[in-house]
Amino acid sequence: MRRFSWVNLLLLLAVLLLAVVPLALGLGSGEEPFSGADAVAEQAIVDDHPDYQPWFSPIYEPPSAELESAFFALQAALGAGLLGYYFGVARTRQRQRDAVDRQRG
């Protein structure tokens, strides 16, 4: 493998490591380990300001945690899919340009 690919692989491994280490070390705490920081903040507000009433509620809420994660997966898949499509198109174009350049010498 060339240097370019090695560096890319190392970048990916580092990202993976950053996500896996907290899990592997079992750093999760509380009733629901690794709950979302957004939800933790919401809970902190409820705890310290018991009289605060949210004055607006979501128009639509996924009926279950499973469906909510399905929507999140859909979001990630759409984003990753489009990004992959882009790289496919860009790579093909680059190869065609290179081929034309070679023909011209």
Partner 1 sequence: MHIAEGYLPPEQAAAWFVVSAPFVVHGSRALVRQVRADPDSKLLLGAAGAFTFALSALKIPSVTGSSSHPTGTGLGAVLFRPPVMSVLGGIVLLFQALLLAHGGLSTLGANIFSMAIVGPWVAYGSYTVVRRAGGGLGPAVFAAAALGSLATYGVTVAQLALAFPDPVSGVGGALAKFGGIFAVTQIPLAISEGLLTVLVVRLLSRTSGDDLRRLGLLRPAAEVRA
Site string for partner 1, 31-70 (x = CB under 8 A): --xxxxxx-xxx-xx--xx--x-xxxxxxxxx-----x--
Between 72 and 99, whose beta carbon lies closer to partner 1? 72
Find out whether 68 and 62 touch, Cβ atoms under 8 Å.
yes
Q: What's the closest the beta carbon of residue 30 comes to partner 1, in angstroms?
A: 7
CB count within 10 Å of CB 63 equals: 8
99 is a site residue for partner 1 (CB under 8 A): no
Between 5 and 103, whose beta carbon lies closer to partner 1? 5
Q: What's the closest the beta carbon of residue 105 comes to partner 1, in angstroms?
A: 18
Q: For residue 61, what are its two tokens?
A: 């809420």
Residue from 1, 64, 66, 87 binding partner 1 (CB under 8 A): 87
- b/e per residue, 40-49, with b = 16+ CB within 10 A? eeeeeeeeee
Q: What's the closest the beta carbon of residue 51 comes to partner 1, in angstroms?
A: 11
Q: What's the closest the beta carbon of residue 66 comes to partner 1, in angstroms?
A: 13
Residue type for 82, please? L
Write the CA distances from 23 to 1, 26, 30, 65, 94, integer angstroms.
31, 5, 14, 21, 40
